[in-house]
């Protein structure tokens, strides 16, 4: 029996996390395709996790196609990569459409995203080596990949924080390290190995996110303690007004921007340049945004503490 669609929306906007955190390309391209795919997959009774894994297969194979110094093969990889990204949008839309959202699904989605770009970095590195690059290219790729992972984690954390504070707790997936660790300890490696593994990954990632932005963590903890039932509207509005100007810049550290530069440098036959952009431009923006987020989080923290 096809999955029951909970209150099928008259518009695809009902499947967004929130319009304010969506990029332009997501709003006018990926989300439209994803909505159609989500409805199609719902009729087939596919789960969001199945769609996530399907997208992962296409994305990993796309990374392999970037190994070849043949633009036709590279373009085929780009098309597969775009398709994988469409499926990555569709899985979340399917989860919201059929009311099958889960923490495990979110963790799997993040893991698959990292696996796809691991394939991209690996095959670009092998391509550079095959073209005569120094073995030091491994260090460059490793540094770029580590930067990518940190940037993606921070961007996701700040996006979820925006939904949590500006749109209300009920709409957010803004977990704390302490609550996740408690849930992780309740799971058993023998009886629930997959869930235990996913939570182990998520606990570690969340800990790293909180280390990157301690002010944001303190703000969440303070707000949770003082406003247990819900975040007051005055704080939602103030957070939105304070954070929105820099929040839009976080979009440059998400998937679409990376794909643009990746495709550009593949067309130019300069794959190593992708690593350098990651290490220079993206890291400079990353440090700026982290500092801005911390400064504004601490300002908001003082405001929240002044309103018991």
Domain span at residue 36 reads 7-108
Do 275 and 228 share a domain, yes or no?
yes
Do 93 and 150 share a domain, yes or no?
no
Q: What is the pLDDT of residues 154-166, one digit of tens each?
A: 998 988 888 888 8
Please answer whether residues 118 and 145 qualify as being in contact, where contact means their C-beta atoms are separated by less than 8 angstroms: yes
Do 256 and 185 share a domain, yes or no?
yes
Do 235 and 291 share a domain, yes or no?
yes
pLDDT value at residue 291: 94
Do 184 and 234 share a domain, yes or no?
yes
* CATH code of the domain in which 32 resides: 1.20.120.1760
Q: What is the pLDDT of residues 2-18, one digit of tens each?
A: 554 444 444 455 556 66
Q: Domain for residue 73, yes or no?
A: yes
Please answer whether residues 50 and 112 qualify as being in contact, where contact means their C-beta atoms are separated by less than 8 angstroms: no
Q: What is the pLDDT of residues 37-50, one digit of tens each?
A: 989 998 999 999 99
Q: Domain for residue 119, yes or no?
A: no
Q: Domain for residue 116, yes or no?
A: no
Which residues does 138 contact at the CB level (< 8 Å), separation at least 6?
125
Q: Domain for residue 125, yes or no?
A: no
Q: What is the mean pLDDT of residues 17-33?
A: 76
Q: Domain for residue 103, yes or no?
A: yes
Q: What is the pLDDT of residues 234-274, one digit of tens each?
A: 888 888 888 888 877 888 888 899 999 999 999 999 999 99
pLDDT above 70 covers a percentage of the chain that reads 91
Check residues 194 and 23 and name the one with the higher pLDDT: 194
Do 165 and 239 share a domain, yes or no?
yes
Do 300 and 152 share a domain, yes or no?
yes
Do 37 and 148 share a domain, yes or no?
no
Q: What is the mean pLDDT of residues 125-146?
A: 95
Q: What is the pLDDT of residues 57-86, one digit of tens each?
A: 999 999 999 999 999 999 999 999 999 999
Do 162 and 249 share a domain, yes or no?
yes
CA atoms within 13 A on the CB side of 124: 29
Least confident segment among 106-120, 124-138, 222-236: 222-236
Do 210 and 258 share a domain, yes or no?
yes
Single out the residue in 74, 91, 108 at which a domain terminates.
Answer: 108
Count Cβ atoms below 10 Å from residue 268 Cβ, excluding itself: 9
Q: Domain for residue 305, yes or no?
A: yes
Calpha distance 115→16 (Å, rounded):
24
Enter the pTM of the model.
0.89
Q: What is the mean pLDDT of residues 112-126?
A: 96
pLDDT value at residue 151: 94
What integer best gives the mean pLDDT of the chain?
A: 87
Least confident segment among 23-37, 103-117, 139-153, 207-221: 23-37
pLDDT value at residue 166: 81
Least confident segment among 12-21, 227-236, 275-284, 289-298: 12-21
Whether residue 96 is predicted with pLDDT greater than 50 in this model: the reply is yes
Would you tell me the crossing angle of helices 31-43 and 71-97 to the nearest 10 degrees?
A: 60
Check residues 20 and 84 and name the one with the higher pLDDT: 84
Do 296 and 216 share a domain, yes or no?
yes
As a three-state string, the secondary structure of the chain is: CCCCCCCCCCCHHHHCCCHHHCCHHHHHHHHHHHHHHHHHHHHCCCCHHHHHHHHHHHHHHHHHHCCCCCHHHHHHHHHHHHHHHHHHHHHHHHHHHCCCCCHHHHHHHHHHHHHHHHHHHHHHHHHHHHCCCCCCHHHHHHHHHHHHHHHHHHHHHHHHHHHHHHHCHHHCCCCCHHHHHHHHHHCCCCCCHHHHHHHHHHHHHHHHHHHHCHHHHHHHHHHHHHCCCCCCHHHHHHHHHHHHHHHHHHHHHCHHHHHHHHHHHHHCCCCHHHHHHHHHHHHHHHHHHHHHHHHHHHHHHHHHHCCC
Task: Identify the band that residue 167 occupies on the pLDDT scale cut at 50, 70 and 90.
Answer: confident
Q: Domain for residue 129, yes or no?
A: no
Please answer whether residues 31 and 72 qualify as being in contact, where contact means their C-beta atoms are separated by less than 8 angstroms: no
Encoded tokens for 194 = 């997959």
Whether residue 222 is predicted with pLDDT greater than 70 in this model: the reply is yes
Q: Domain for residue 127, yes or no?
A: no
Single out the residue in 91, 108, 125 at which a domain terminates.
Answer: 108
Count the domains in the chain.
Answer: 2
Please answer whether residues 91 and 52 qualify as being in contact, where contact means their C-beta atoms are separated by less than 8 angstroms: yes
Do 280 and 172 share a domain, yes or no?
yes
């Amino acid at each position: 029996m096809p999955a029951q669609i909970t209150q099928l929306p008259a518009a695809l906007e009902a499947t967004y996390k929130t319009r304010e955190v969506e990029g332009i390309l997501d709003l006018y391209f990926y989300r439209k395709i994803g909505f159609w795919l989500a409805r199609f997959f719902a009729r087939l009774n596919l789960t969001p996790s199945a769609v996530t894994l399907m997208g992962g297969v296409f994305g990993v194979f796309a990374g392999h196609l970037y190994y070849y110094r043949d633009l036709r093969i590279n373009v085929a990889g780009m098309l597969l990569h775009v398709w994988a990204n469409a499926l990555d949008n569709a899985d979340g839309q399917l989860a919201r459409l059929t009311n099958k959202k889960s923490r495990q699904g979110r963790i799997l989605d993040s893991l698959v995203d990292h696996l796809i770009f691991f394939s991209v970095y690996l095959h670009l590195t092998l391509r550079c080596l095959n073209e005569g690059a120094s073995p030091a290219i491994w260090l460059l790729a490793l540094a770029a990949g580590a930067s990518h992972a940190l940037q993606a984690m921070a961007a996701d954390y700040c996006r979820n924080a925006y939904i949590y504070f500006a749109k209300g707790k009920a709409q957010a997936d803004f977990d704390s390290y302490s609550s996740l660790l408690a849930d992780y300890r309740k799971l058993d490696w023998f009886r629930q190995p997959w869930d235990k593994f996913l939570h182990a990954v998520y606990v570690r990632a969340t800990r790293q996110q909180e280390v990157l932005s301690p002010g944001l963590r303190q703000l969440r903890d303070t707000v949770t303690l003082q406003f247990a039932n819900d975040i007051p509207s005055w704080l939602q509005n103030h957070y939105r007004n304070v954070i929105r100007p820099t929040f839009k810049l976080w979009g440059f550290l998400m998937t679409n921007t990376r794909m643009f530069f990746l495709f550009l440098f593949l067309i130019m036959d300069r794959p190593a340049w992708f690593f350098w952009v990651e290490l220079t431009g993206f890291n400079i923006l990353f440090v700026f945004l982290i500092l801005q987020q911390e400064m504004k989080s601490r300002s908001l923290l003082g405001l929240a503490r002044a309103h018991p």
